[in-house]
Structure 1
Amino acid sequence: MIIVRAQPADLPRLLRFRKDAASWLQPQGIDQWSQPFPASNIAASIEAGEVFLFKEDQALDAVATVTLDRTIDPELLDLWTPEEQAERALYVHKLVVDRQHAGRDLGGRILDWAGDLAARQGERWLRLDAWTTNTRLHRYYLDHGFHHVRTTQDPNEVSGWLAQRLARRTPHSFGDLTGVSPVGANKPERKIGP
Structure 2
Amino acid sequence: MRICSAQPHDLAKLLAFRQEAAAWLSRLGTDQWRRPYPADKLLATIEAGDVFMVRDSDVTAATITLTPEAEGGLWTAEELEEPCLFINKLTVARTHSGQDLGGRLLDWAGDRGHRAGAKWLRLDAWTTNAGLQAYYLNHGFQHVRTVRQGLAVNGGPRVSGWLAQRATGPATHGFIDETASPNRVS
Q: Answer yes or no: same fold by TM over 0.5.
A: yes
Tell me by how many angstroms 1:108 deviates.
0.1
Distance 2:90 2:148 in 1: 24
Distance 1:149 1:63 in 2: 30
Tell me by how many angstroms 1:138 deviates.
0.1
Say if 2:118 and 2:185, in contact at 8 Å, map to a contact too: no
Percent identity reads: 51
* 1:118 and 2:123 aligned: no
* 1:22 and 2:17 aligned: no
Tell me by how many angstroms 1:117 deviates.
0.4
Instruction: Name the counterpart of 1:35.
Output: 35
Instruction: Name the counterpart of 1:130.
Output: 125
Distance 1:62 1:78 in 2: 33
Instruction: Name the counterpart of 2:8.
Output: 8
Q: Deviations over 1:26-64 (max 9, x none)?
A: 12210000001100001001101111000112xx02110
* 1:171 and 2:172 aligned: yes
- Which 5+ residue runs of structure 1 have no aligned equivalent? 184-188
TM alignment of 1:1-194, pairs within 5 A: 1-57=1-57, 60-73=58-71, 77-154=72-149, 156-181=157-182, 189-190=184-185
Say if 2:67 and 2:87, in contact at 8 Å, map to a contact too: yes
Query: What is the number of residues matched between the two proteins?
Result: 180
Distance 1:36 1:109 in 2: 26
Distance 1:153 1:43 in 2: 28
Name the TM-score, length of structure 1 as normaliser.
0.89
2:39 partner letter: A
- Which 5+ residue runs of structure 2 have no aligned equivalent? 151-156
Name the TM-score, length of structure 2 as normaliser.
0.93
